[in-house]
Amino acid sequence: MFNKKYWTEGVGSYAVAILIALTIRWAFMEAYVIPSGSMLPSLLVHDHIFVNKMVYGVRVPFTEKWLYKAGDPQRGEVIVFKYPENEKIFYIKRVVGVPGDRVFYEDGKLYINDKLVEKKEPNELKEEFNWLRDKDLMSLTKSDVVHWEEQLGEQKYSTLLVKDSPSRTFGPYQVPQDSYFVMGDNRDNSKDSRLWSPDKTFVPRDNLIGRAMFVWLSCDETIPGISFLCNPLTIRGKRFFHNVH
């Protein structure tokens, strides 16, 4: 028999702490780091985010099977998922098409079920746009892009389009059951459902990890050789607890 001190002060206390941490990571939420600019300006490079893993259901521990399924992703939500072409890699994108939707994208215009998703250029640049650096824009500068506001479902968010970009058409795509069509907010610099191989166009529901919640840490630079650790001299304090819309 283990006495009370074993669980509160001894080795048992470490075991309990590890078990609690693993349970939270398995079922409730997990931290991820944004590695690229595909979700600019909504998410910046080196934003550290928490992801709600319970919102779409809970899996049986150490398996891909669902213990139970909860809600389904809605248009406009930002989700983390296993990349359909390589499930060892995690991606983060915005849901633009849910099962049954017809998605069409042409010259910077997004159509859902043959209806144009309206967008407007804001009168003032939002704070997250001011955080952008030219090098985040993948060889572009701020003067090369246009910042738009868009709304899908209940979600209002920002997107970027390259000025005078070549005419491009994608789709139409018919989203199958238990699948989702996703896009990055940096519309001309995102490898998403538009560009994946034809047999991997959609994100299967079984690939879902969770929904992005908020930024808990952010920095301009990480420590060389340790990509997940922020350089404390480059912390972006105003990004802390920034909700992901």
* Distance of alpha carbon 212 from alpha carbon 7, whole angstroms: 35
Confidence of residue 18 (pLDDT cuts 50, 70, 90): very low
Mean pLDDT value of segment 22-32: 62
Confidence of residue 3 (pLDDT cuts 50, 70, 90): low
Active site residue 93: yes
Determine which one of 42, 93, 158, 179 is catalytic: 93
Mean pLDDT value of segment 178-197: 96
Helices within the chain (DSSP H only): 4-8, 11-23, 127-130
Q: What is the pLDDT of residues 71-122, one digit of tens each?
A: 899 999 999 999 999 999 999 999 999 999 999 999 999 999 999 999 887 7
Confidence of residue 224 (pLDDT cuts 50, 70, 90): confident
Residue among 209, 219, 222, 217 at smallest CA distance from 242: 217
* Distance of alpha carbon 231 from alpha carbon 208, whole angstroms: 31
Angstrom distances, CA of residue 134 to CA of 74, 88, 177, 185, 235: 32, 30, 40, 17, 18
Active site residue 109: no
Q: What is the pLDDT of residues 31-80, one digit of tens each?
A: 899 999 999 999 999 999 999 988 998 887 767 788 888 889 999 999 99
pLDDT at residue 164, as a whole number: 83
Confidence of residue 12 (pLDDT cuts 50, 70, 90): low
Angstrom distances, CA of residue 97 to CA of 8, 51, 57, 101, 244: 50, 20, 20, 6, 19
Q: Which CATH class is domain 31-243?
A: mainly beta
Please provide the average confidence, as pLDDT, over all residues in the chain. 85
pLDDT at 128 > cutoff 70: no
Q: Which element (helix H / strand E) includes 171?
A: strand 169-174
Sign of the Cα pseudo-torsion (75, 96, 227, 144, in order):
negative
Strand partners, 165: none
- For residue 217, which phi and psi values (nearest 5 degrees)? -160, 145
Residue of 120 and 126 predicted with greater confidence: 120
pLDDT at 205 > cutoff 60: yes
Sign of the Cα pseudo-torsion (64, 65, 68, 70, in order):
positive
Alpha carbon dihedral 171, 88, 70, 195, in 10-degree steps, equals -10
Determine which one of 38, 158, 190, 193 is catalytic: 38
pTM: 0.86
* Distance of alpha carbon 218 from alpha carbon 228, whole angstroms: 11
Residue 173 region by backbone torsions, left for phi larger than 0, else alpha for psi between -120 and 50, else beta: beta
**Which distant-in-sequence residues (6+ apart) come within 8 Å of 139 by Cβ?**
none
pLDDT at residue 28, as a whole number: 61
Confidence of residue 235 (pLDDT cuts 50, 70, 90): very high
pLDDT at 141 > cutoff 90: no
pLDDT at residue 243, as a whole number: 92
